[in-house]
Amino acid sequence: MTINEVNIIPIKPTSGLVAFASVVIDNSLYLGSIGVHSRLDGSFRITYPTKKIGSKELNLYHPISRDVGNLIEQAVVAECQQLFEGRDDNDRHNKAGNKNGQTIARKSQLSTDAG
């Protein structure tokens, strides 16, 4: 399995949610709306999308294999660390960006023998 692309879209932080991520796997599967949350120690964790129907919350998708889940998390967290590196609390609109203030989406490639 290869993660061909990782995109990170920073948002205004809300209850620890700081960005949304998407990944492309094996150039054939797109997974979007992955939540990126900051932890108190400065690291990041990810959450997969759910949909609330009545009183039940349904998982839209999530990895079944621990190896695949770790690969996706490592790819997303690595991109977030690079993207948010150097960001400070005075950053206008609390967005990560380049030196010209433009918001950027990062891309990454990782692979594993899982799958």
- For residue 104, tell me if it sits in a domain: no
pLDDT of residue 48: 98
Give the number of domains in the chain. 1
- For residue 113, tell me if it sits in a domain: no
Per-10-residue mean pLDDT of the chain, 115 residues long, equals: 94 95 96 96 95 96 96 96 74 47 49 53
Q: How many angstroms separate the most distant Cα atoms in the chain?
A: 46
- For residue 74, tell me if it sits in a domain: yes
CB 36 within 8 A of CB 21: yes
pLDDT of residue 103: 45
pTM of the predicted structure, to 2 decimals: 0.76
Domain range enclosing 21? 2-86
CB 15 within 8 A of CB 52: no
pLDDT of residue 113: 56
What CATH number corresponds to the domain at position 16?
3.30.1120.40
